[in-house]
Amino acid sequence: MTPILQGRGLVKSYGPTRALRGVTLTVAEGEILAVTGPSGCGKSTLLHCLAGILRPDAGEVVYRDHRIDTWSQARRSQLRRGEFGILFQYGQLVAELTAAENVALPLMLNGTRRREARTAAMSWLERLDVADVAARRPGEISGGQQQRVALARALVTEPRVLFADEPTGSLDSLAGEQVLGHLVRLARAQQTTVVLVTHDATVAGYADREIVLRDGEVDPTGLGLARGRTVVAR
Amino acid sequence: MRPAALLRLALAGNRTDTVRILLTAFAAALATLSMLAAATVYAIRPRGDAALREAAGLAPTKEGVPGVEPAPDGYAYQYTHNLLVEPGLRPGVALGLLLLCIPVLALAGQSARLGAPARDRRLAQIRLAGATPRQAVAVAVAETGLAALAGTAAGMAAYAAGRVLLHRPDASGRLPLPTDTLPPLWTLLAVGAGLPLLAALSAALLLRRVAFTPFGVARRHRTRPPRPWPGLLILAGIAAFAAVQPVVRAYAWSGRPMPGWVLPVLLGGGGALATIGVVLGTAWISQAAGRVLHRVARSPAALLAARRLMADPWAGGRVFAAMLAAVVVGAGAAGVRAWFTAEFDAREEVSRANARAAGWEYVPGDTSFYTSSLDLVDAAVTVALVIAGLGLLVYLVEGLVSRRRAYAALVATGVPRRTLARSVGWQMLAPAVPAIVLALVVGTAIMRGLVREVRAGSWMQFCTVDDESRCGEGSPFLRTFEIDVVRPVEVPYAELAQVGAVALAAVAVTVGVGLLFLRASTDVTELRTE
């Protein structure tokens, strides 16, 4: 499979705390990769480095043969807006905007007209079975619905890579399953690569492959969370 | 709960809580200074010593009498500035100083909201630890009360220090400020105890919509949309000013003396009604501005701002209240200046004509007393705008901090910070521009209602020969000269533009300073905070 995203020897520290200690991994195009591990092991930091949100202290992040960790913040922002989609634990929707406006926002930022952006947003909300809450604000809908709206916002630009940071962490199991079901179905349909950070074995089970982080390093024992399967760090 | 425990819980908190406490104390200190300054001016005891009168350029009434003599005419000759000397102006100065408390109290009110969600969570945790709802409220009230008490004490200390440091009599013994006067003891006690009490009561009042439970905090929000009825208050205020001249004429026509309360009620009440109308009307303006912006928004920044304005239109009235009150006063002061200018012009024209007719030398009148007094009013308006700007800044920073996770998430997904910055700018300026224009129009309208033209005139007879005995009734040497000058009071467009520009600049500077917090609020680490 063609690699789309690579991290090579990634190191990142917050003051005296070393969150990543030389992580190397490759994500193949169209793959769903789960990054698992205990709390504080550096999962979210790894995701932020791969997505270009954080710049690593050392090492390289390569996206489609381009070393993006050396890019300016503006260029990385542009990349995230166009090529990447990001989904957080708490939907992080804009509280004052309606669900449809939240989904339309990334398209408008890319220069799409408001009417067209809204049409596209409605189409995504329908695909995620939340079209009925399009006119409601995040505070007026359930956590599961919020997360599906957030997923629609992450996918509306049809990104090549979707980064999901504990996407079901704030949901009950049923709502979590619904969100993950939609995520996997739509990612497969669009050939979107997914990097999924979780500490939940059920969530990791949706992935094609799993790597485990411990203390900022890829665990060489390769024992993953998902059904005890053997994990291969490529 | 023991007082020590209450104190510990009231003052426990994070950095935002510390900033809130400091800002509350700062506002209390400013309010104390403003109240004590007003009380001091009001407590001035006029002195008319011969030497002081002489220094003031007046003939001594009791020549040679040494020591302190009360002035029988109420003039306090011990001061250099006419605003303190003239008995008719001192109550106005005291009132003006007292009115400065309005933006200060608005700042205090805004400060109380800083970091409120985090504080509310802390209070819910205290409830979880076994405190009753009343005890949780007591902790919040104690925090505000103690901060106000500290601020009041600091304000009193600054006042006492100012009395010593600013006591600079000139060569003739006259003072620039009333540093020789102390308000009565009961006033000092009322300010010292009343202000912290008032702050604590306000905090309790603000918390009446909040229910603290061990599982969190429920806050009742005002859901009804704002209505345009404050427009009626504005009209009533303008009508009160417009009624002044007809009422004065009616009393003069009837021959009955006008009761002393009529003018203060019409002017004070009318001004208050118009100002309250503008402040309350801003909520409606915010909502309308949000709706219009939402309809025409093409950019994400405008869309975000429009939705925020529509989500909480009441914030507009709350946040811009002090600033708009200052703009109404500033526009009214510009109107007064235009009135005085027209009046002086008319009088000068009469004096010139009289001098020409009688062959006298024309001596221009001195208007510096009035213009310097109005300069002081303008300075007070500027101070009020600056304090109001501080309140605005607190609101802005509070908004950025409370939305930091959503902002950080947007930036993480690739939203440029400048888009968020623009949305904040839109959010502040979209309601501010029409509200400031409304405040200018209202301030001008109340003055236009009061006076639109001025008249000055004189009638005199003079003798054209040196021997006045030849100028009897019907004498050809007796000349009669009559002049009547009518001058329109111009709308002071330049001054109004200046007041509006200063207010808008205050908003723009506030937005600029507030945006310095945007980078910190959108840091990726905010995604981890709960």
3-state secondary structure B145-214: HHHHHHHHHHHHHHHHHHHHHCCCCCCCCCECCCCCCCCCHHHHHHHHHHHHHHHHHHHHHHHHHEEEEC
Smallest Cβ–Cβ distance between B300 and the set A53, A78, A108 belongs to A108
- Cα separation, B442 vs B506, in Å, equals 20
Same domain, A64 and A170: yes
Q: How many domains does chain A have?
A: 2
Q: Which residue has the tokens 């043969």?
A: A65
Domain boundary among A109, A140, A158: A158
Q: Which residues contact B37 (CB under 8 A, 6 or more apart)?
A: B97, B159
Tokens of B474: 């019907």
Task: Indicate yes or no: CB of B413 within 8 angstroms of CB of A101.
Answer: no
Nearest Cα to Cα of residue B121 among B507, B402, B478: B402
**Which one of A88, A109, A113 has the shortest CB-CB distance to B409?**
A88
Name, in order, each residue with C-beta under 8 angstroms of B188's C-beta and a sequence gap of 6 or more: B36, B39, B156, B182
Question: A192 and A99 share a domain?
Answer: no
pLDDT of residue B530: 44
For residue A91, the model assigns a pLDDT of 60
Nearest to B308 among A85, A88, A96 (CB): A96
Among the ranges given (A29-38, B26-35, B63-72, B406-415), the one the predictor scored with the smallest mean pLDDT: B63-72
Interface contact B524-A93, CB threshold 8 A? no
Domain final residue, candidates A158, A190, A208: A158
Least confident of A31-35, B108-112, B311-315: B108-112
Distance separating alpha carbons of residues B141 and B147, to the nearest angstrom = 10
Instruction: Assess whether A172 and A228 both reside in one domain.
Output: yes
Who contacts B348 (Cβ-Cβ below 8 Å, separation ≥6)?
B364, B365
Residue A230 has what pLDDT?
A: 46
Q: pTM of this prediction?
A: 0.78
* B309 domain residue, yes or no: yes
Q: Of B335, B352, B371, which is closest to residue B456 (Cα–Cα)? A: B352
**Residue B18: inside a domain, yes or no?**
yes
**DSSP code of residue A192:** -
Residues of A in contact with B307 (CB under 8 A): 94, 96-98, 101
Residues A133 and A208 both lie in one domain: no
Task: Please give the structure tokens belonging to residue B321.
Answer: 């209240």
Residues of B with CB under 8 A from a CB of A: 297-300, 303-304, 307-308, 310-311, 403, 405-406, 408-416, 419, 524, 527-528
Q: Do A137 and B527 touch (CB under 8 A)?
A: no
Q: What is the pLDDT of residue B11?
A: 66
Instruction: Say what the pLDDT of residue B368 is.
Output: 75
- Structure tokens, B174: 């006259």
Q: What tokens were used for B365? A: 């009148």
A190 versus B70: the higher-pLDDT residue is: A190
Task: Say whether A96 and B416 touch across the interface (CB within 8 A).
Answer: no
Residue A28 forms beta bridges with which residues?
A3
Residues A6 and A104 occupy one common structural domain? no
Are residues A4 and A64 part of one domain?
yes
SS (H, E, C) B211-278: EEECCEEEECCCCCCCCCCHHHHHHHHHHHHHCHHHHHHHHHHHCCCCCCCHHHHHHHHHHHHHHHHH
Shared domain for B410 and B334, answered yes or no, is: yes
Instruction: Give residue B113's domain range.
Output: 1-44+79-220
Same domain, yes or no, for B495 and B354? yes
Q: Is the Cβ–Cβ distance between B514 and B394 less than 8 Å? A: no
Mean pLDDT of chain A: 87
Q: Is residue B339 part of a domain?
A: yes
Q: Which pLDDT does position A233 carry in this prediction?
A: 42
Residue B64 pLDDT: 41
Q: Is residue B311 part of a domain?
A: yes
Instruction: Please state the rounded mean pLDDT for residues A163-183.
Output: 84
> What pLDDT, on a 0 to 100 scale, did the predictor assign at position A45?
92
- In the listed set B185, B220, B255, which residue is the last one of a domain according to the structure? B220
Residue B249 forms part of a structural domain: no
Same-domain pairing of B341 and B452: yes
Question: If you search the block for the tokens 């109004």, which residue do you land on?
Answer: B496
What is the Cα–Cα distance from B51 to B66, expressed in whole angstroms? Answer: 8
pLDDT for res B48: 67
Q: In this structure, are B205 and B292 located in the same domain?
A: no
- B425 with B327, same domain: the answer is yes
Position A232 confidence tier, pLDDT thresholds 50, 70, 90: very low
Q: Check whether residue B179 and residue B309 sit in a common domain.
A: no
Partners of A209 in the beta sheet?
Answer: A33
Higher pLDDT, A10 or A173: A10
**Does A168 lie in the same domain as A152?**
no
Q: Indicate which of B286, B298, B411, B413 best probes the interface with A, i.e. most A CBs within 10 Å of its own CB.
A: B413
Say whether both B294 and B215 belong to one domain: no
Q: Do B412 and A74 touch (CB under 8 A)?
A: no
Give a yes or no: residue B254 inside a domain: no
Query: Per residue in B242-266, is it b (16+ CB within 10 Å) or e — as a string?
Result: bbbeeeeeeeeeeeeeeeeeeeeeb
Residue B68 has pLDDT above 60, yes or no: no
- The CATH number of whichever domain residue A32 belongs to comes to 3.40.50.300
Residues B209 and B309 in one domain: no
Asked if residue B85 and residue B215 are part of one domain, the reply reads yes
Question: Rounded to the nearest 5°, which phi and psi values hold at B415?
Answer: -70, 125
Look up residue B4 and give its amino acid: A
Closest alpha carbon to B203 in B129, B105, B283: B105
CB pairs under 8 A between A and B: 79
Select the residue of B307, B405, B419 nearest A96 (Cβ to Cβ): B307
Average pLDDT over residues B33-50: 87
The Cα A104–Cα A119 span in angstroms is: 8
Which chain A residues in 8-47 lie under 8 Å from chain B, judged by CB atoms? 44
What residues have CB less than 8 Å from B158, skipping those under 6 apart? B29, B33
Q: Are residues B347 and B485 in the same domain?
A: yes
State the Cα torsion A189-A190-A191-A195 to the nearest 10°. Answer: -100
Answer yes or no: do A79 and A109 share one domain.
no
Tell me: do A7 and A37 sit in the same domain.
yes
Residues A40 and A79 in one domain: yes
B394 in a structural domain = yes
Residues spanned by the domain of A46: 1-83+163-234
For chain B, say whether A197 makes contact (Cβ under 8 Å).
Answer: no
Cβ of B416 within 8 Å of Cβ of A54? The answer is no
The answer to whether the CB atoms of B307 and A97 lie below 8 A apart is yes
Percent with pLDDT over 70 in chain B: 89
- Domain end, chosen from B220, B247, B267, is at B220
Task: Tell which residue, B203, B23, B31, has the closest CA to residue B111.
Answer: B23
Same domain (yes/no): A63, A152: no
Give per-residue pLDDT as tens, B267-308. Answer: 889 988 988 888 888 899 999 999 999 999 889 999 999 998
For residue B519, tell me if it sits in a domain.
yes
Q: How many domains does chain B have?
A: 2
- Average pLDDT rounded to a whole number, residues B229-243: 91
| pLDDT tens digits along B435-477 | 999 999 999 999 988 888 998 888 888 787 878 788 887 788 8
ipTM given for this complex: 0.80
Contact A96 B405 (CB under 8 A): no
Q: Are residues B312 and B171 in the same domain?
A: no
Q: How far is CA A91 from CA A8, A149, B158, B245, B527, in A?
A: 30, 8, 50, 63, 11
Residue tagged 């910070």 (tokens): B417
The least confident of A44-58, B1-15, B289-303, B503-517 is B1-15
Query: Which carries the bigger pLDDT value, residue B358 or residue B255?
Result: B255
Which residue, A158, A193, A213, sits at the end of a domain?
A158
Tell me: do B180 and B319 sit in the same domain.
Answer: no
Nearest to B524 among A54, A95, A113 (CB): A54
Give yes or no: residues A61 and A171 share one domain: yes
